[in-house]
Structure 1
């Protein structure tokens, strides 16, 4: 069964952001601002990629959607970060309607006559190293349900909120359903809609959904440039500092290495 993930890496879509901009030029300027891009690349390297590269089931495709106007130095660094990740592929598109472009990117990578498991993934989030293995097993367990429905959602709702910095990791456990990370949609053969045609917290309104809560399956990144944190009146979250045991757990579950985090963030001068 084909499994495809999609990460929008600062793609200047029309729509798809909680914070709006008056013009496309304003959105592009915001997305490619040097301070923001440096932060996105740090989180992508230290939080997002390690768990994906270490999946116990390596049979999946990971699409990284970028804009055609991404500055070349950032595109080169992105390619370097993905060089040892054979499942990853950079897909470049001009600005366009968010849901339509994402649907087209998914379908271009699909074998449309086969069932497909699709997951969305932000560049500052992580999934457990067993995510693909667990997703494939869960999809096989619900074969009868998938046979009756074009779309079925699967959501792992237990994980951690995490914030990396030059001293390591701050994190605390959480259980939040339909948060958009460690979430997938089983798409029937021939169905053209993708997981990105629906708001991650609204999947339950449009299709059968299953929730799994038995183990931590995600890290939800917390940083200054989260799209959801750009609105007024958003309160800061004070996360506890992880000790050696907590850091070891992050490495075991998500392949996130706190020593690597310290090196990268210290080099950037980020406290």
Structure 2
């Protein structure tokens, strides 16, 4: 069966996208949301985390056979939009998708459509937040797992990575790294594997409830995600599982090995 399957791996990452039915729940009204999202200090922080965690780890994947849309607001300030364009320019697998304010899920579906290509039997649709990173073998591992699971599982199904690390930036100047094994799927790198013609994606349901809707494969073999905790987490970044079981020195070694990120950068980010 595997020889008959052709996969395309595509992702959507939201970067300060304006919606009229999701983020207003956190900010009250569209004007307040716009002021908050486009605050220069906030945008500078988000750009920095995106560049050094999210983009850095995805751009250096051992398997570069994927495409990823960065979904953002078309009326984001020019200086920030230009920074995003400059960051993405050297990496052809990334697409900047700027959209007007609209319904959250509709914008996400449009971004996936803009990223997809014809001619495949199946799609591996992944999600990731702009302030999180993935291990450098994430795409390679996701491809291998998807192909193997398609031999035995009814599709669509979920692949989630529940072992990883948290970078806690809650206290300025005192960033800390913690290991974690989560009890439910996270937003970081979780993917929905489905027939290419099926119009769906992993933003359809809350990620922690995926097992209610899909067969769900949860891998804890290696640390795969690096999530940040900071005051601007819109939906929170609660740790729900086994956390802080390893010594700091071991966590540091594993993060350098899995993500290729300088420890001094993580301490000062």
Given the two structures, how large is their TM-score scaled by the length of structure 2? Answer: 0.85
Range that drifts further, 55-64 or 160-169: 160-169
Q: Which residue does the alignment assign to 2:226?
A: 219
The Cα of 1:73 is off from its aligned counterpart by 0.2
1:251 aligns with 2:256: yes
C-alpha separation between the residues in 1 aligned to 2:261 and 2:251?
11
C-alpha separation between the residues in 2 aligned to 1:31 and 1:141?
41
The Cα of 1:249 is off from its aligned counterpart by 2.9
C-alpha separation between the residues in 1 aligned to 2:116 and 2:58?
20
Q: Which residue does the alignment assign to 1:203?
A: 210
C-alpha separation between the residues in 2 aligned to 1:128 and 1:102?
24
| Structure 1 contact 50–255 (Cα < 8 Å) conserved | no
In structure 2, relative to structure 1, the CA distance for the partners of 1:38 and 1:19 (3 Å cut) is: farther
Q: Which residue does the alignment assign to 1:10?
A: 16
In structure 2, relative to structure 1, the CA distance for the partners of 1:159 and 1:199 (3 Å cut) is: same
Q: Which residue does the alignment assign to 1:76?
A: 82
> What SS does the corresponding residue of 1:197 show, helix, strand or coil?
coil
Match of 2:144 among 137, 140, 143: 137
C-alpha separation between the residues in 2 aligned to 1:21 and 1:166?
24
C-alpha separation between the residues in 2 aligned to 1:178 and 1:93?
28
| Structure 1 contact 19–227 (Cα < 8 Å) conserved | no
Match of 2:158 among 153, 161, 169: 153
C-alpha separation between the residues in 2 aligned to 1:261 and 1:117?
30
| Structure 2 contact 24–30 (Cα < 8 Å) conserved | no
C-alpha separation between the residues in 2 aligned to 1:87 and 1:195?
20
In structure 2, relative to structure 1, the CA distance for the partners of 1:19 and 1:229 (3 Å cut) is: farther
The Cα of 1:152 is off from its aligned counterpart by 0.8
The Cα of 1:243 is off from its aligned counterpart by 6.5
Structure 2 residue runs of 5 or longer lacking an equivalent are 1-6, 238-243
1:190 aligns with 2:197: yes
C-alpha separation between the residues in 2 aligned to 1:138 and 1:168?
37
Q: CA RMSD in A?
A: 2.6
1:57-68 superposed matches below 5 A: 57-68=63-74
Q: Which residue does the alignment assign to 1:32?
A: 38
Structure 1 residue runs of 5 or longer lacking an equivalent are 231-238, 266-271
> What SS does the corresponding residue of 2:45 show, helix, strand or coil?
helix
| Structure 1 contact 169–247 (Cα < 8 Å) conserved | no
In structure 2, relative to structure 1, the CA distance for the partners of 1:202 and 1:14 (3 Å cut) is: farther
C-alpha separation between the residues in 1 aligned to 2:33 and 2:75?
12
| Structure 2 contact 68–94 (Cα < 8 Å) conserved | yes
Given the two structures, how large is their TM-score scaled by the length of structure 1? Answer: 0.85
1:51 aligns with 2:57: yes
The Cα of 1:260 is off from its aligned counterpart by 3.9
The Cα of 1:175 is off from its aligned counterpart by 1.1
C-alpha separation between the residues in 2 aligned to 1:31 and 1:166?
20
The Cα of 1:251 is off from its aligned counterpart by 2.3
1:111 aligns with 2:117: yes
